[in-house]
Structure formats: structure tokens, C-alpha cells
Amino acid sequence: MDGTDALTISVIGDLANIDRAVWDTLANPEGEPYDPFLSWDFLQALEESGCASAANGWQPAHLIARDASGAALGAMPLYAKDHSYGEYVFDHAWADALQRAGGQYYPKLQCAAPFTPVPGRRILARDAAVQSALAQAAIGLAQRAGASSVHATFVLKQQAESLVPLGYQTRTGLQYHWFNNGYASFADFLGALSSQKRKSIRRERKRACEGLRVRRLRGAEITARDWDFFFRCYMDTGGRKWGSPYLNRAFFDLLGQRMADQCVLFVAEEADGVPLASALNLIGGDALYGRYWGRVADVPFLHFELCYYQAIELAIELGLPRVEAGAQGEHKLARGYMPVQTFSAHWIAHEGLRNAVKHYLRQETPAVVDEAEILADHTPFKKAD
């Protein structure tokens, strides 16, 4: 592309206003690993179910960039928000600071896959000039709408860095991912661990599965009854963690209808078939994504079995390079998950808050980097001689 003179960027609002194939060509272009959370099916299911809606503080305001012929060259999944829930990159302190100074932090614009702390592309264009134009258009929309800021969360590092010249500030976070170092089996993975950690994991798995069996369900194998039980588990976990779970049963119905082949349920059952716990994973092009889990009875180590060890086994079988098991969780380290830096980009209109955030990030970023380095020295893997 020689320039952006003929580029037109518009707000399309709901994803229902763009053809599924057009969006997916931008979200998951040929040659790139498939990201289920950027797909039209996933994002539109959030909107159609009402989870990502104006009523819930997620007003879709997606941007589309088109050339003079009307062909779509890029997109930006964007939402106008009146709160900071469901993001997993916490800016409540920033909001409080601006409000104490007499300003208004909300509404703000959020470029994200809602409720999904999974790193990935956020500005969906291969051409750097189109990416830049979309990022600038988001700023322009914020200024016209009186929004305080634009946030692109869980964005790839290279994309976050490309936004710095436009006035976005980069924030660093921390997650734990498991990496498949060419393992042929779970036993092969265990062989890479220290003797103590290897014994500990075997002990945990034995305790978790005493008197239970774990079923792995995918695609058409997942029945309405399985989804019902999973949703019961999800509501229990969501109620305890967040008070009000973000997703409803209608969303999981749509997910099961549209993305069944990407969905894997691990269900732990007693010998008589009574289910006790369930965990949902989505399969991507280069990763298995652990998303939600819940249980109706306390069983020691069952959380680790369903969310971590079963996921590792499946990733090895599918030949996937890694497992991403969601936000936070230092306890993942002892189970073979490595610390990984995540990134977000933030444009803030208010000069005072912008400078305060810049100062804050100068302190926070080195602390996060140091933490990741320290944690990496305490992995369960055998130490090199």
C-alpha cells in the first residue's frame, strides 16, 4: 500500500453489521495461526447473547478501514465502556485518580476480546500504515465522543510498540504459559522435571482422580446436558470470584453451535456418572486456551488435573506449541507453566493523568520484568549442569 489517502475508516457498531467472511479474513488471515477469540463467531456470540452489549457496559464500536473500492483492509474490535470490569488489566486506580481530580474516566474505549485475557493481534491489518490509521481513528473517536482514553489490552508486543509514536503508553503484565518442547507424551514432559516435582505431580494426579474418571469431549460429543453442567460450574466459580459472572447460558449455546470443533470440555465424574467438575478449553492454531472451570464438590487437586495436566496432555497429542491457562496464578509455575510477559497499550487524553501514568509505568514495568526473571529461576525443570 503506497499510502492511506484513499483509506476510509468507519464505525460499524455491532458485528452483525459486517459480513462474517469479511471480518474473518481480517481477523484470521491466511498464513497466521488461528485465533478463536478474534473470530466473528466468538465476538458476535458475545454481542448476540447480550454479554458484550451497551446494557452490560460493552457498547460495540468496531472500526473498519476500507480502500477506495470499498474493500476491507483492516479492523479494530472496539467497545465503549462505562466501567473497567472483564478486562484483566486493572486501571481502577487510574479512574479513581482522574475522578478525584475532577475529571471523568468513563466512558473509555477498549480494544479487546471481551472477558478474554489471551494475548493476540488487536489491530487487524497486515499493513503497518493501516494499523496506524486505525489506532489514530480510535483516538479521534475518543475525542469526538468525550471518552477519556483508548486501551488495547493483551496486544502482541510488536503491535504495542508500534503504537508508542502515536501517544500510546505500553504496560507490561505477567501470565504463565506451558511450552511444548517436543514432548511425545505427558511422561516425556515429566521426565524434563526435577525428581521432586515429578513425584509431586504424579501424587497430585493420583489424588485428584481417586474414584473418578475424566471424560474429554469435543464437538458433537458435547451435549446440551454437558453444557448445562459446565454452566452450573461456571456460575459457581464466577459467583465466588467476581460476584456477577460475565457470561450467560445463551453465549455458551452459541459457542457450542458455531465453534464446537474448537471447544473441548474436560468433565470429572464419579463412578456412577455423576459429574463433579468441568473445564472448558478452546483450540487455536498454535495454542490450547484454558478458559473456564468450576466444580460442585471439593476434591483435592482436581483443579490442577482438569485445568493444567489434562490441557498439557491434549496439547501434546495435538502437537500444539503451548497452553495458555488464563490470567494470573503463580501456582502454575510448580506445574510446568513459565512466566511470560504480556502487553497493553494506553492512550490518555488528560495531560495530568497521562503524565501520572507514565511515571507509574516507569516504576511498574521494571518490577514486573524483575519478577518474571526471578520466577523463571524457580521453575520445576531440571537445572543444567
The string of pLDDT tens digits covering residues 321-375 is 999 998 878 889 999 999 999 999 999 999 999 999 999 999 999 999 999 999 9
Query: Are 158 and 47 in the same domain?
Result: yes
What lies within 8 Å, CB to CB, of 122 at 6+ separation is 76, 77, 111, 112, 152, 153, 154, 155, 156, 159
Q: Is the residue at 251 inside a domain?
A: yes
Kindly report, residue by residue over 271-321, the tens digit of the pLDDT.
999 999 999 999 999 999 999 999 999 999 999 999 999 999 999 999 999
Mean pLDDT of the 229-257 span: 88
Strands 275-283 and 78-81: unpaired
The CATH number of the domain holding residue 41 is 3.40.630.30
Query: Are 294 and 362 in the same domain?
Result: no
Q: Report the first-to-last Cα separation within the chain, whole angstroms.
A: 52
Query: Are 25 and 149 in the same domain?
Result: yes
Domain count, the chain: 2
Mean pLDDT of the 63-91 span: 97
How many C-beta neighbours within 10 Å does residue 151 have?
A: 28
Query: Helix or strand or coil: residue 40?
Result: helix
Query: Are 207 and 309 in the same domain?
Result: yes
Q: Is the residue at 143 inside a domain?
A: yes
Average confidence score pLDDT of the chain:
95
Give me the pLDDT at residue 241, please: 62
Query: Are 213 and 78 in the same domain?
Result: no
Give me the pLDDT at residue 383, please: 81
Cis peptide bond upstream of 275, omega within 30? no
Instruction: Evaluate if residue 5 carries a pLDDT over 70.
Output: no
Q: Is the residue at 328 inside a domain?
A: no
Query: Are 164 and 187 in the same domain?
Result: no
State which residues form the domain around 355: 8-174+340-376
Query: Are 108 and 217 in the same domain?
Result: no
Q: Is the residue at 240 inside a domain?
A: yes
Query: Are 18 and 167 in the same domain?
Result: yes
Query: Are 192 and 168 in the same domain?
Result: no
Reading the block at residue 129, the C-alpha cell is 500504515
Instruction: Evaluate if residue 385 carries a pLDDT over 60.
Output: no
Kindly report, residue by residue over 104-135, the tens digit of the pLDDT.
999 999 999 999 999 999 999 999 999 999 99
Query: Are 131 and 256 in the same domain?
Result: no
Give the HSE-up count for residue 207: Cα atoms under 13 Å, Cβ half-sphere: 13
Give me the pLDDT at residue 329, please: 81
Q: Is the residue at 348 inside a domain?
A: yes
CA torsion angle 19 24 29 30 (round to 10): -90
Give me the pLDDT at residue 244, please: 77
Query: Are 98 and 209 in the same domain?
Result: no
Query: Are 131 and 271 in the same domain?
Result: no
Q: Say if residues 77 and 43 touch (Cβ distance below 8 Å).
A: yes
Q: What is the pTM of this model?
A: 0.95
What lies within 8 Å, CB to CB, of 310 at 6+ separation is 214, 216, 266, 279
Q: Is the residue at 329 inside a domain?
A: no
Give me the pLDDT at residue 1, please: 44
Kindly report, residue by residue over 140-191, the tens digit of the pLDDT.
999 999 999 999 999 999 999 999 999 999 999 999 999 999 999 999 999 9
